[in-house]
Amino acid sequence: MKKNFLFFALTISIYFLIPIALRAQAKPYVILLSFDAFRWDYVNRGITPNLDKIKADGVWALSLRPAFPSKTFPNHQTIITGMYPEHHGIIHNDFTNPFTKEKYKISDSVSVTDPKWYLGEAFWQTCERQGIKTASYFWPGSELSDSTRRPTYYEHYEHKRNYYTIIKGVTAWLKLPYKDRPHFIATYVHETDDMGHRYGPNSPEVNRAIQIEDSLVGFLFNSLKQANMLDSTNVIILSDHGMTEVSKEKIINIEETIGSESKIDGVGPVMMIEPKTGKIAEIYDKLKRNEDHYKVYTRDNIPEYYEFSEHPFIYSIIVIADPGWTLVDNSSKASVMKYQQAGNHGYDKDFIDMQGIFLATGPVFKKAYRTGTLWNIDVYPLLCKILGIIPRSNIDGKFERIGFILK
């Protein structure tokens, strides 16, 4: 009797366990690699042999449309949550809660890791809730102090860390024992952003940065091959936004137009203004009458296309500079005049220079498939489909707009 029971129990266990194990084995691996400010056309410069290979063998989009404002933290959150900044809450790299006066700043590790600012669910959290281990090596916003809102494995950001160390860290996670191994890894490299700001998108220094990042792609694929993971890993290479030339000749001091009574936040392509109570119409009219090389909107009349009105921390007036122009106030003017860089981003998401790249290769992707512009809000539902998990229902992204790149 006992023997029969044991045999029965064993049969049942095998029956249930094998399919689960097989299903788990079949779950693909995905690496999401972001090159900060890698403009859509950098892959057309004839200096990227490794990316050219993906262009030829995998999926290559004409460009990747960022969310507005085309800045680093808003867009990395958009990519990883499938939401516009007005919904995921990171509305700029630096911004203020006007009700409490608390500040979010990407250079402040306390605010960057404080979960209260982050209203969207990052893809790694969607995965972990559904039983999939994840990792992030430097993805902006992946170090939240709440362990349920970050990947199983993550690294604290260090701007100067060697890029090869980063890629080695990524592939080391893929060599972990099967039960500990993450199926999704997000990672980030900033060389093209640094050089783009400092020397401009058309400089030899940016070309060198492009080549450095391209070599990292070669290194990543060689490492995957050595780890015997090449056939089972999908790699998506994208960027958060592009870069355009700016200059000292294209600077507008907004305070000269509106006076010094209003609260002004932001220097560069986008500025937010909170006039004193009852003064919104007056300040808006002043800016509208002088509207030259910028566009001014109120929260109420900003075109829906910007998707930039619903979050409560967006001020009453939003000023968006024309491409290449820089908005300053009295306090920032001197330093901008002195240290103005050669490149910047943050402008309108459809301005061609703000567009990024999207390349993908691996078993789930079509082969040698060229497509038009994709939207970065759609990457999150794409990732959900690849890993076979259910996306959050409150996202802005749509799988139907991007799903055709899969086999």
Catalytic residue numbers, as ranges: 72
Radius of gyration of the chain (CA): 23
Q: Does 72 bind ligand AMP (CB under 6 A)?
A: yes
Phi then psi for residue 41, to 5 deg, are -90, 0
What's the closest the beta carbon of residue 106 comes to ligand AMP, in angstroms? 5
What's the closest the beta carbon of residue 72 comes to ligand AMP, in angstroms? 3
CA 252 to chain centre: 29
Rounded CA gap, 64 and 138, in Å?
21
Q: Does 193 bind ligand AMP (CB under 6 A)?
A: yes
Q: Does 353 bind Zn ion (CB under 5 A)?
A: no
What's the closest the beta carbon of residue 13 comes to Zn ion, in angstroms? 50
Rounded CA gap, 123 and 87, in Å?
15
Query: Site residues for ligand AMP, window 214-253 (CB under 6 A)?
Result: none
Q: Report the residue number, 58 or 69, with the smaller CB distance to ligand AMP.
A: 69
Q: Report the residue number, 75 or 262, with the smaller CB distance to Zn ion.
A: 75
Q: In this chain, which of 72, 77, 326, 355 binds Zn ion, going by CB under 5 A?
A: 72
Residue 106 interacts with, from ligand AMP, Zn ion, none (CB under 5-8 Å by kind):
ligand AMP
Q: Report the residue number, 158 or 350, with the smaller CB distance to ligand AMP.
A: 158
Tokens 């281990």 correspond to 133
Query: Site residues for Zn ion, window 184-223 (CB under 5 A)?
Result: 193
Task: Tell me if 354 sits within 8 A of 242, measured CB to CB.
Answer: yes
Could you give the C-alpha distances from 383 to 111, 235, 263, 289, 403, in angstroms and in order?
27, 11, 40, 46, 10
What's the closest the beta carbon of residue 240 comes to Zn ion, in angstroms? 4
Rounded CA gap, 27 and 232, in Å?
9
Q: Does 275 bind ligand AMP (CB under 6 A)?
A: no
Q: Report the residue number, 52 or 194, with the smaller CB distance to Zn ion.
A: 194
Residue 190 interacts with, from Zn ion, ligand AMP, none (CB under 5-8 Å by kind):
ligand AMP
Rounded CA gap, 287 and 48, in Å?
44
Tell me, what amino acid is at 320?
Answer: I
Tokens 């999207």 correspond to 358
Rounded CA gap, 352 and 188, in Å?
23
Tally: H helices and E strands in the chain: 13, 20
Q: In this chain, which of 183, 190, 349, 392 binds ligand AMP, going by CB under 6 A?
A: 190
Q: Does 159 bind ligand AMP (CB under 6 A)?
A: yes
Q: Does 354 bind ligand AMP (CB under 6 A)?
A: no
Tokens 């509305």 correspond to 91
Query: Site residues for ligand AMP, window 95-154 (CB under 6 A)?
Result: 106, 112, 138, 140
Query: Site residues for ligand AMP, window 77-96 (CB under 6 A)?
Result: 93
Q: Does 39 bind ligand AMP (CB under 6 A)?
A: no
Q: In this chain, which of 39, 55, 65, 71 binds ligand AMP, going by CB under 6 A?
A: 71
Any idea what DSSP says for residue 187?
E
Task: Tell me if 183 sits within 8 A of 132, measured CB to CB.
Answer: yes
Query: Site residues for Zn ion, window 6-65 (CB under 5 A)?
Result: 36-37
Tokens 């901008």 correspond to 336
What share of residues in the chain are helix, strand, coil (percent, to 5)?
A: 40, 20, 40
Tokens 């694929």 correspond to 221
What's the closest the beta carbon of residue 158 comes to ligand AMP, in angstroms? 9
Best CA proximity match to 186, nearest among 228, 154, 218: 154
Q: Report the residue number, 52 or 114, with the smaller CB distance to ligand AMP.
A: 114
DSSP 3-state assignment of 229? coil
Q: Report the residue number, 139 or 173, with the smaller CB distance to Zn ion.
A: 139
Rounded CA gap, 247 and 251, in Å?
8
What's the closest the beta carbon of residue 36 comes to ligand AMP, in angstroms? 6
Q: In this chain, which of 121, 128, 240, 353 binds Zn ion, going by CB under 5 A?
A: 240
Residue 159 interacts with, from ligand AMP, Zn ion, none (CB under 5-8 Å by kind):
ligand AMP
Tell me, what amino acid is at 207?
Answer: N
Residue 313 interacts with, from Zn ion, ligand AMP, none (CB under 5-8 Å by kind):
none
Could you give the C-alpha distances from 119 to 92, 114, 252, in angstroms and in order?
14, 11, 33
Q: Report the residue number, 36 or 128, with the smaller CB distance to Zn ion.
A: 36
Q: Report the residue number, 141 or 381, with the smaller CB distance to ligand AMP.
A: 141
**Which residues would be at the binding site for ligand AMP (CB under 6 A)?**
36, 71-72, 93, 106, 112, 138, 140, 157, 159, 188, 190, 193
